[in-house]
Chain A
Amino acid sequence: MRVNGVVHAAPSDTRRLLSDHLRHDLGLTGTHVGCEHGVCGCCTVLLDGAPVRSCLMLAVQAEGHEVTTIEGLAADGAPLHPVQQAFHECHGLQCGFCTPGFVMSVVGLLAQHPNPTAEQVDEGISGNLCRCTGYASIRRAVVRAAELSKK
């Protein structure tokens, strides 16, 4: 599988979850695990560009696919990705634990709807739980990210 553009061998342990493989085998600890039953969305990554729960997938299932994690959005030292930048500007994160999952969901949302309506914004982030922000600042961040993405 390719992870953030780099080819990696699949894990030998076939019961390894994709989330655990990313975190513990590849050291990509930006992908977080909040519930391990596919509800909270903290572990969201892109699989061939579409958001998926990495805790509901086995790592071996990602073989032959392109996985993008939060670390893959902006290179170290490079400016933040527009979605990341928008979360910063709009105070769209507090503790930062759910944030990578939200950011990946929003990247997926904006790929599908570059100019999302308010309803599409809510729909697009309604697979991710946040306990800190109350979502208001995240909604603002999605709108801002759509603006920044066009620049």
Chain B
Amino acid sequence: MTTRWFGEKVQRVEDDRLLRGHGHFTDDIDESALESVLVRSPFAHARIRSIDVTAARAMPGVVAVYTAADLPFGHTDLPILIPHPNLTHGRTQRCLASEVVRYLGEAVVFVVAETRAIAEDAAELVQVDYEPLPVVITPEAAARADHLVHDDVPGNVAAELIQEAGAVEAALAASPRRKRLHFRFERGAASPMEGRAVWSRWSAAEHKLTVYDSTQSPTSIRGGLAVLFGLPESNVDVIAPDVGGGFGPKIMLFYPDELLVPFAAMKLGRPVKWTEDRQEHFTATNQERGQVHEIEVGFDDEGKLLALDVDFIHDGGAYTPYGIILPIITAAQVPGPYRVPNYRVRFRDMYTNATPTSPYRGAGRPHACFVMERTLDAIAAELGLDRTEVRRRNLIEPDQFPYEVGVVWQDGNQVVYDSGDYPALVERALEMLGPRPEGDHIGMGLSPYVEGTGVGPYEGAHVHVLASGKVVAATGIPNQGQGHATVWAQIVADQLGVDVSDVEVSSGDTRRFQWGVGTFASRAAIMAGNAMAVAAGMVAEKAKHIAAEHLEADPADLELAGGRVRVKGSPERGIPLAAVAVLSNPMRYAFGGGTEAATQFAAKPRPGPPLRAGEQPGLEATGYFSPVGSAWAAGCHAAYVRVDPKTYRLEILKYVVVHDCGRLINPLVVEGQIEGGVAQGIGGAFYERLAYDDEGQLRNASFMEFLMPYATEIPAIEIDHIETPSPLNPLGIKGAGEAGVIPVGAVLAAAIEEALGVPITEMPLSPLKLFELSRQS
């Protein structure tokens, strides 16, 4: 394989139309669609006494108003996406609530009208009589269980899981030093710039349902809709067009609108669309990160870890549609890049009267990293040791791979780190960080981390060389801005010896590729990237075999380069790939770019039928990639900050990232992922806070008060890479999507703690929080 494109800073192929305003986002689709609005619960917990939609239905321009009673699936619990034996009390919501609402923003009534304005006006005419019930809003309140979120779930505990590697009690008892710590992380919100949206059309003539959905998993949505509506999957097309950022919560299976919009389109015989507004996004789209951790750590006088006992509760929200993946990831990722000889972790997934949780970029890892790094900082403080030195003494060494942690991973297998060089990451980060800036109230933070990426089960790809010589490549996994079309084109172009601009990539469109899982867990590059390489490799082999006959050469002596299949060492002896594409289809007539070149060869006599046993027409192939386990990326972030002692304003003086995601396909794209992740991490650590009150009302459900950082809050970030290829996939790559966000909280906590001299044990922070902490200490 030539490696001309792999590793290059190739500028993105998807930019041009996005820059010209020709992107294709779900809300851009109109086709005279009816518009819809959801009436949502204004209470975090209430019994529904009655629902009266008479006035709304009577309003001119209203086409339909649906309550649970009007839906054939109105009394069906929505699915649990990832069941788990320890999820003993899994509960999911129904498409529309009719008895009890359990979080602010839960959907109750669906209104469809000629225009959005009419639908909004009609929604205000819907009368729902609620009887408010006691609200459980924090995970601590859930654990106290004074009130229950679900009457039939004792103690509000959805799931409990205990794992132990080694013998923690004995190791703690034998430890020269022991320390108890408490760390709290609040909920955060992904807040992609595009909210969620669904558009659907039913064609009665074709008996076909078409759905455009700003989802991270169109293939799963299609499978679910086919079952629900009793259609063969081939009669359901689900397309994730351009998606304006995902970051996790755009995958759930199902949000109510993902069922209601197609249902209404089928029922009403007209296209129907629904576009989330920003306010409802704040409560109706999943959140994450709320966790409270109790730690006991045993260590020796050198700062070496001997035992770690972690017990945490996870704020799961009102339902468990996504199973217990989040606390499983935290449990697996607390040890991070360190040797923890005895590790025990217990979690309980708690129901609260808040929006359900599912992964948000980082997914259980930022909190895990925070817990471990704060613990090491506490050890360093107690022993009077340098914080970095304590880390050095506990890092897994490069000769210890593969390294088994002793707990289960989100795919059900054991956590086994495949490769890495953690000490090198730390030393390089220190080198880049350089000397401490002059001045008062300056602090330094440093945090290495690991990230399990590229979880299975599989992804696939279809690669097809057209008669023009152009290549189309398709995969089921969708894109939310990560530059997939570019990096996959690079991979395919290398395999086929063509230019990147000759490869057009389609993703997240079940019409083009119907199998797949979805974009999450930093898996797209590994899973679909390797699938692209497999499929394109199959096409290359096929091209060589076809060309070999016409060039009278051995296929093994051929190579694909410069848009041709040619003899190695005699590049003038070759045939254009376009001509091979024409030859691959043994038909009587041909038309298109490669035809003329193919003709001179096509006359060659060939014994047997034109299509022999085992041969298929067309220069195309479908390939799949399925890994034996996750590839473990790693990195180290470090920063100097200054905190103004009067205003508590945070100034990030320097922020460096050393990153190892194995072999880099496109450094431009990877660095974009890191820069964006760090910014999201900074926002989550210091500016953004979901301000729920005791009644479960979100007091800041707007961008006016939920303070996402602007450019003025985000510093320049210096990035360097080391590459330890993953042995678990042919391309040697690891995922990069979440790396930027994971250690930011840990780094800023350490730096701010040093700058102000107050202990930091919680996230998020803010100037007000720092003022309060300073006053207490």
Which residues of A line the B interface, CB within 8 A? 13, 15, 23-24, 27-37, 39-40, 42, 69-71, 73-74, 76, 80, 84, 87-89, 91, 93-100, 103, 121-123, 125-139
Which residues of B are found within 8 Å of A135, using beta-carbon distances?
Answer: 675, 679, 710-711, 714
Q: What separation, in Å, do the CA atoms of A1 and B549 have in the docked complex?
A: 66
Instruction: Determine how close the nearest CB of chain B comes to the CB of A115; give it in whole angstroms.
Output: 18
Contact check, A134 vs B15: say whether CB atoms are below 8 A apart.
no
For the complex, give the distance between the alpha carbons of A126 and B711 in Å.
6
Complex CA gap A28/B16 in Å reads: 16
B480 within 8 A of A: yes
Nearest 6 interchain pairs by C-beta: A30-B21, A95-B481, A97-B244, A96-B18, A134-B679, A70-B21
Complex partner residue of A134 from B25, B481, B678, CB under 8 angstroms: B678
Contact A24 B702 (CB under 8 A): no
Q: Which of A13, A37, A69 has the most CB of B within 10 A?
A: A37
Which residues of A sit under 8 angstroms from B245, Cβ to Cβ?
Answer: 94-95, 97, 131-132
CA of A98 to CA of B15 in the docked complex: distance in angstroms?
13
Q: Are A136 and B717 in contact (CB under 8 A)?
A: yes
Question: Which of the residues A29, A73, A95, A99 comes within 8 Å of B192, measured between beta carbons?
Answer: A95
Q: Do the beta carbons of A122 and B712 come within 8 Å of each other?
A: yes
Complex CA–CA separation, A32 to B23 (angstroms) = 10
Docked CA distance A28–B22 (Å): 9
Task: Indicate with 1 or 0, residue by residue over B314-345, a CB within 8 angstroms of chain A CB atoms.
Answer: 00000000000000000000000000000000
- Chain A proximity mask over B711-746: 1 for CB below 8 Å, otherwise 0: 110101100000000000000000000001000000
A32's partner among B244, B669, B703 (CB-CB below 8 A) is: B244
Q: How far is the CB of A131 from chain B (nearest CB, A)?
A: 5
> Nearest B residue to A123 by beta-carbon distance?
B712
Interface contact A128-B710, CB-CB below 8 Å: yes
- Which residues of A are found within 8 Å of B38, using beta-carbon distances? none
- How far is A40 from B245 in the complex, measured between Cα atoms in Å? 14
Q: Are B703 and A37 in contact (CB under 8 A)?
A: yes
Closest to A121 in B: B711
Tell me the bound Cα distance from A103 to B23 in angstroms.
14
Assuming the contacts A89-B11, A132-B481, asked whether A37 and B278 have C-beta atoms less than 8 A apart, the reply is yes
Tell whether A80 pairs with B20 under 8 Å between CB atoms, given A87-B15, A131-B708, A135-B679: yes
Bitwise interface map of B from 348 to 375 toward A, beta carbon under 8 Å scored 1, else 0: 0000000000000000000000000000
With A28-B21, A30-B23 as contacts: A91 and B669 at CB distance below 8 Å: yes
The residue on A at minimum CB distance from B14 is: A96
Taking a contact as CB atoms under 8 Å apart, the answer to whether A132 and B676 are in contact is yes
Q: Closest B-chain residue to A76, C-beta based?
A: B20
Shortest beta-carbon distance from B516 to chain A in Å: 20
Cβ–Cβ < 8 Å partners of B668 in chain A: 91
Docked-complex contact A32 and B25, CB < 8 angstroms: yes
CA distance A128 to B18 in the complex (A): 17
Residue of B nearest to A88 (CB): B15
**B192 contacts A131, C-beta separation under 8 Å:** yes
Q: Which residue of B lies closest to A103 (CB)?
A: B19
The residue on B at minimum CB distance from A97 is B244
Task: Say yes or no: A93 contacts B680, CB within 8 Å.
Answer: no
Q: What are 9 A-B residue pairs whose CB atoms fall within 8 Å in the complex?
A: A30-B20, A71-B21, A74-B20, A91-B672, A94-B676, A95-B245, A96-B14, A97-B193, A121-B711
Query: 8 Å CB contacts to A: which residues of B243-259?
Result: 243-245, 247
Residue in A closest to B278 when the chains form the complex, CB atoms? A35
- Given A97-B194, A136-B675, answer yes or no on A37-B20 (Cβ-Cβ < 8 Å): no
Partner of A37, one of B27, B28, B194, B702: B702
- B21 neighbours in A (Cβ, 8 Å): 28-31, 69-71, 100
B677, A134: Cβ atoms under 8 Å? yes
Asked, given contacts A32-B244, A84-B19, whether A138 binds B193 with beta carbons under 8 Å apart, the answer is no
Residue among B20, B195, B481 facing the most chain A CB atoms (10 A cut-off): B20
**What's the nearest-Cβ distance from chain A to residue B276, in Å?**
11
Instruction: State whether A96 touches B244 (Cβ < 8 A).
Output: yes
* Chain A residue contacts of B672, Cβ below 8 A: 91, 94, 132-133, 137
Question: Is B213 at the interface (CB under 8 A from chain A)?
Answer: no
* Contact, CB under 8 Å: A96 / B481: yes
> What's the least CB distance linking B375 to chain A, in Å?
28
Contact across chains for A97 and B675 when beta carbons are under 8 A apart: no
CB of B277 closer than 8 Å to a CB of A: yes
- Residue among A34, A87, A125 making CB contact with B19, cutoff 8 Å: A87
Closest to B116 in A: A20
Known contacts A24-B30, A34-B193, A70-B21: does B675 contact A137 (CB below 8 Å)? yes
Beyond contacts A31-B21, A91-B11, A132-B193: 12 other A-B pairs, Cβ-Cβ < 8 A, are A30-B21, A35-B278, A35-B702, A37-B278, A71-B20, A84-B20, A87-B19, A94-B483, A95-B242, A131-B708, A134-B675, A137-B675
Q: How far is the CB of A25 from chain B (nearest CB, A)?
A: 10
- Interface membership of chain B positions 673-693, coded 1 if the CB is closer than 8 angstroms to chain A and 0 otherwise: 001111110000000000000
**B244 CB → nearest A CB, Å:** 3
Asked if B711 contacts A131 (CB within 8 A), the reply is no
Do the beta carbons of A70 and B703 come within 8 Å of each other? no
A36 touches B711 (CB 8 A): no
